[in-house]
Amino acid sequence: MRHSTIIGTGFYVPPQVVTNDDLSKLMDTSDAWIQERTGIKQRHMVEDGIGSADLAKIAAERALADAGLTAADIDLIIFATLSPDFFFPGSACILQKKMPGFGTIPALDIRQQCTGFVYAVAIADSFIRVGAYSKILVIGAEVHSVGLDYTTRGRDVAVLFGDGAGAVIMAPTENEAEGILGFALHAEGENYDKLWVPAPYGNIRGRVNQEMIERGELFPKMDGRAVFRHAVPRFCECINEVLGKTGRKIEEVDLFIPHQANDRITHAVAERMGLPNEKVVSNIARYANTTAATIPICIHESRQDGRLKKGSLLLCAAFGSGFTWASVLMRWTV
Ligand code: UT7
């Protein structure tokens, strides 16, 4: 039966590296606090004027080259981001402007935050299964640094995030044993305000005013402990769900790529699931949390370092703002 597989990958992070020590010059924090609580050592940040679609363009070009394709071969763009270039139109359209080779193919943004890439892969797989599209560019790209409060007021959130982009190309396969084997998607809007950016508002005239700016409502707000508490069980639930749907066992998984929000979350999930360290990918030390870009960056790096190879059973899972959580299981084919 026709379904999909990933045939090319690429990523890009901007060259500027900002260490924990650099941040401790801007706010009351320390390298020790950040490393102990999260595992983060540094993150990459854009220069002013660079948006998510700019990072996405380079990641997309690399993924296309890896797949041996050009933009003209792609028939759908799916762009996952919580940091779009503009309120509207979506960043997929901005990317299309920057890469004219896409012509007038459909360009879709999705707003599933840390879970965005997994949702995007599931959407792409579904479009390919029904025969609607054949070569889909799936991107996760984020520019967090321009929207974080780098003062002591914002330290609980600002130290966690970095900028970056990852992209994959998805194409059809008829081979039941390879490609996307299954996915599980969930959301719980009840907790929308546990991790969110209140402003600009969609229901207030003018969308933003001086008081909102002074209250810091243009910056993300997070109840870190609540997010942490929900993340670990939700990760495990959706991993068990996708394993159940596909009739696979956790011991069969060759590589686990979790969303990188906190190494303590990753370790807790791996321990509960009985996954040994050597099967678990962590790059949070170098990039921090790049939300929708995290998993495709991890996928590309895992190919580069040889941990992900043709035939590997790859499990990806994520949890984030919304709340949203999701998993995807695939047999790697390139
Ligand atoms: O990707 C989206 C999903 N996001 C997540 O999954 C994040 C989940 N949450 C977490 O990862 C953790 O909750 C954090 C890393 C955000 C925080 O770790 P924590 O162990 O839960 O710390 P806490 O929030 O309980 O804060 C402990 C202390 C507080 O001080 P008091 O009240 O004990 O005096 C904070 O004010 O640490 C303080 N603190 C900081 N200190 C130095 C908060 N941020 C910082 C900071 N530097 N950057």
To the nearest 10°, report the CA torsion of 273, 276, 281, 283: 110
Rounded average pLDDT over 232-252: 98
Pairwise CA distance, residues 231 & 219, whole Å: 22
Domains and CATH numbers, the chain: 3-173 (3.40.47.10), 179-331 (3.40.47.10)
Query: 156 CB under 6 A from ligand 1?
Result: yes
Residue 259 annotated to the active site? yes
Rounded average pLDDT over 156-177: 97
Pairwise CA distance, residues 78 & 298, whole Å: 19
Q: How far is the CA of 157 from the centre of ligand 1 (A)?
A: 8
Kindly give the pairing relationship between strand 136-142 and strand 164-173. antiparallel
pLDDT, position 7: 98
Burial 301-330 (b: 16+ CB within 10 A, else e): bbbeeebbeeebbbbbbbbbbbbbbbbbbb
Hey, how many other C-beta atoms are within 10 angstroms of the C-beta on 123?
A: 21
Pairwise CA distance, residues 36 & 19, whole Å: 15
pLDDT, position 156: 97
What residue type is assigned to position 163 of the chain?
Answer: D
Pairwise CA distance, residues 19 & 14, whole Å: 14
Query: 158 CB under 6 A from ligand 1?
Result: no
CA atoms within 13 A on the CB side of 322: 23
Residue 316 annotated to the active site? no
Contact 332, 314 (CB under 8 A): yes
Rounded average pLDDT over 287-307: 98
Residue 289 annotated to the active site? yes
Probe target for ligand 1 pocket from 38, 112, 117, 156, with the most ligand atoms within 8 Å of CB? 156
pLDDT, position 275: 98
Pairwise CA distance, residues 118 & 80, whole Å: 9
pLDDT, position 323: 98
Concatenated DSSP letters of 94-152: HHHHH-GGGTT--EEEE--GGGHHHHHHHHHHHHHHTTS-SSEEEEEEE--GGGS--SG
The H or E element containing residue 297 is helix 294-304
Predicted confidence band of residue 24 (pLDDT cuts 50, 70, 90): very high
Which residue's CA lies nearest to atom 14 of ligand 1?
224
Pairwise CA distance, residues 113 & 84, whole Å: 11
Q: How far is the CA of 230 from the centre of ligand 1 (A)?
A: 15
Query: 155 CB under 6 A from ligand 1?
Result: yes
Tens of pLDDT along 85-98? 999 999 999 999 99
**Which candidate, 230, 258, 229, 254, places its Cα nearest to that of 324?**
230
How far does Cα 20 stand from its chain's mean position?
Answer: 22
Burial 19-34 (b: 16+ CB within 10 A, else e): ebeebbeebebebeeb
Q: Which atom of ligand 1 is nearest to the CA of 264?
A: 11
Rounded average pLDDT over 39-55: 98
Contacts of 55 (CB under 8 A, 6+ apart): 12, 13, 14, 46, 141, 142, 143, 163, 164, 165, 293
Contact 316, 189 (CB under 8 A): no
Pairwise CA distance, residues 213 & 253, whole Å: 47
Tens of pLDDT along 175-203? 989 999 999 999 999 999 999 999 999 99
Kindly give the pairing relationship between strand 195-196 and strand 179-187. unpaired
Pairwise CA distance, residues 218 & 241, whole Å: 36
Pairwise CA distance, residues 43 & 260, whole Å: 12
pLDDT, position 162: 98
Query: 223 CB under 6 A from ligand 1?
Result: no
Query: 254 CB under 6 A from ligand 1?
Result: no
Q: Which atom of ligand 1 is nearest to the CA of 114?
A: 1
Rounded average pLDDT over 294-300: 98
Query: 115 CB under 6 A from ligand 1?
Result: no
**Which candidate, 111, 124, 165, 145, places its Cα nearest to that of 298?**
165
Q: What is the pTM of this model?
A: 0.98
pLDDT, position 319: 98
